[in-house]
Chain A
């Protein structure tokens, strides 16, 4: 038992030090031969044990005595702890690969591979009435009852459906949008885009309204405009003329769209879109639903790809 545990520990330490590499080699030898004590040979575990004992004895006779007495028990505990942590580590790596977090999809708990937790950060939503953070969790997220026809949508007939709730001015939404656009194109997804500014001020509402007008006048050109909105610098987004210029550059009538965006009917439409979006109980942007399953925060591309491909989850 000791040999197996020692093999793993020394193999890891061996990455950094030659002495431990030699120990790892001997542990391997020991594991294979299962020899602890040949009469003319001295077992590896005895060697390590006595080395530890010699050190302990220099500090505390009691500790050395206990260690000596319960050596096998220690070896077992150590081994079990190691096997368990190895499984957890493997699971963590697997999850990190598939979900972008060691702890599972959308988990914000600490993950060593993503120490700053970037993959799960969101621009948090404030309740417009109470100004407090929206009190909702991942398990509340749902598409049930969401009327997709209220929002810009493309390729409706496709089998795999992606709904993105994002905001032009939010860093995490901006970070992830190119990946989503790429994913949509590659897998030809049914894509619904919901613009939801987490801070619902005037200029933010304007962007929603303007977007609706662009979509109304040309559903095809909307997607190009949308992409440019995410790519533009944040400070420009506040300027209605800039937003209009983006549309004009695509061959649309920027001035007409500007007045459309100020139209009361459009603003009403925006309001109803916002309240419809809230039925998903989302609590921050970006929130991306792929075939009904939510991914909160900017995940690596591979995570979205895995969701589309329906790779194994656990």
Chain B
């Protein structure tokens, strides 16, 4: 059993006197932050608010060491071969754009994406293909919204890149990533994984998976906003074109030319969000101490309860497979003929339950399915069964007016 009451103590928002009136079920959009993370950021501003990698004075050195240590933590957390494979960005979106803009895509290239990608893993490729003449192909999911590996095996041949979300924010479905990578590699394609929704729910081992690129955001894994990571195999990163350039990306510059630094600095232009990165380091410390198999079981218990209860409501429609084991901590649903925003707002107004409503930046899927949006519950390890019960109680009440 995962001990929620213990971890809840670590989150200021969950220990406030009014915490019973605040049920946070929007973790796919943004996770809550433990005190540790907030403190790490404060510490930077208070104790060593200096430039990293430039100033040789003692504060500058201290700050540089701390940020370098975060890079090492991230590398260790995802089991990268070296710190050089970790590039700090602002978020998943920037990480994906970095790869898209730097791969040197040509008109003859084919890029594959799934039909459930977040706009951040779709629009950059659409634009790139429009500009280069490359082909973007959308992989259709099976009827239950799970990944169609058979179809994938048929079309992978000749592709240059597969850009795929590990866990979909739309419905929580996780793709069989190791098979996808294996098939892609055997067909000579590279794989970029959008890991934004994975990091809070499971540990990814980039080496075991033989991942080429992994993009994720700090703010969805207990870290601060404005922090993101791009992992890339060192050999691949070294072959990428520069993306954002300027201060900190170059070794030397004349009036007519410049020489770039090696990775990862080459890709980290300008002063970074150091406080944020230190917060990210603290988040990784926190996550590293958690038992992810217990977390998975805990989230399953909650989602199982939610799913079975919510299916009793007449107009309820689920997005994704029925089995909650396949949906991580996500319950995405709609009521026939009811605006999802209204459900979300009423949950909030009646019981302080915060969920996301709308198209969750997966407009393409909603357009294709002719739906206006869904209401989405997304759980984290600190959510409790009492919260889930309160949700069901409130939703059942709301259901009466439709």
Contact = CB atoms under 8 A, between A and B. Distances in A.
Contact of B401 (A39, A40, A43, A53): A53
B350 interface: yes
A42 interface: yes
A57 B398 contact: yes
Interface in A181-240: none
B358 A65 contact: no
A64 B401 contact: yes
B contact residues, range: 20 to 34
A interface, over-half SS:
helix
Contact of A50 (B342, B358, B361): B342
B401 A57 contact: yes
B402 interface: yes
A46 B401 contact: no
A63 to B, nearest CB: 9
Interface in A58-76: 58, 61, 64-65, 68
A39 B118 CA distance: 13
Contact of B345 (A47, A55, A57, A61): A47
Given A40-B359, A54-B346, A54-B349, A46 B398 contact: no
Interface string B335-358: 000010110111011100000011
B373 interface: yes
Contacts of A58: 350
B252 interface: no
Given A61-B400, A65-B401, A37 B341 contact: yes
Interface string B388-402: 000000000110111
A34 interface: no
Contacts of A57: 346, 350, 397-398, 400-401
Given A39-B358, A39-B363, A65 B341 contact: no
Given A37-B341, A42-B357, A50 B363 contact: no
A40 B361 contact: yes
A51 interface: yes
B346 A50 contact: yes
Interface string B346-383: 10111000000111010100000000010000000000
Contact of A65 (B345, B346, B373, B400): B400
Contacts of B358: 39-40, 42
Contacts of B373: 39
B339 A46 contact: yes
A271 interface: no
Interface residues of A, number: 19
B359 A39 contact: yes
A49 interface: yes
Contact of A68 (B345, B361, B402): B402
A19 to B, nearest CB: 14
Nearest to A68: B401
Nearest to A41: B358
Contacts of A64: 400-401
A184 B178 CA distance: 101
A46 B350 contact: no
Nearest to B402: A68
Counting chain B CB atoms within 10 Å of each CB, which of A37, A47, A54, A58 scores highest? A54
A119 to B, nearest CB: 48
Interface in B304-329: none
A51 B397 CA distance: 14
A101 to B, nearest CB: 45
Contact of A51 (B349, B398, B400): B349
A42 B345 contact: yes
Given A54-B350, A68-B402, A46 B359 contact: no
Counting chain B CB atoms within 10 Å of each CB, which of A50, A51, A55 scores highest? A50
Contacts of B346: 50, 53-54, 57
Contacts of B357: 42
A51 B401 CA distance: 14
A61 B401 contact: yes
A54 B342 CA distance: 10
Interface in B108-139: none
Given A39-B363, A40-B359, A40-B361, A46 B345 contact: yes
Nearest to B351: A54
B400 A46 contact: no
Given A40-B358, A42-B341, A42-B357, A50 B349 contact: yes
Given A39-B363, A54-B346, A46 B397 contact: no
Counting chain A CB atoms within 10 Å of each CB, which of B341, B357, B358, B397 scores highest? B341
Contacts of A50: 342, 345-346, 348-349
10 contacts: A40-B358, A42-B357, A46-B341, A46-B342, A49-B345, A50-B349, A54-B349, A57-B346, A57-B401, A68-B402
Given A50-B349, A51-B345, 18 more contacts: A39-B358, A39-B373, A40-B358, A40-B359, A42-B341, A42-B345, A42-B357, A43-B341, A46-B342, A47-B345, A49-B342, A50-B342, A50-B345, A50-B346, A53-B346, A54-B349, A55-B349, A64-B400
Interface of B: 339, 341-342, 344-346, 348-350, 357-359, 361, 363, 373, 397-398, 400-402
Which 3 pairs, one residue from A and one from B, show the smallest C-beta to C-beta distance?
Answer: A54-B349, A50-B345, A39-B359
Interface of A: 37, 39-40, 42-43, 46-47, 49-51, 53-55, 57-58, 61, 64-65, 68
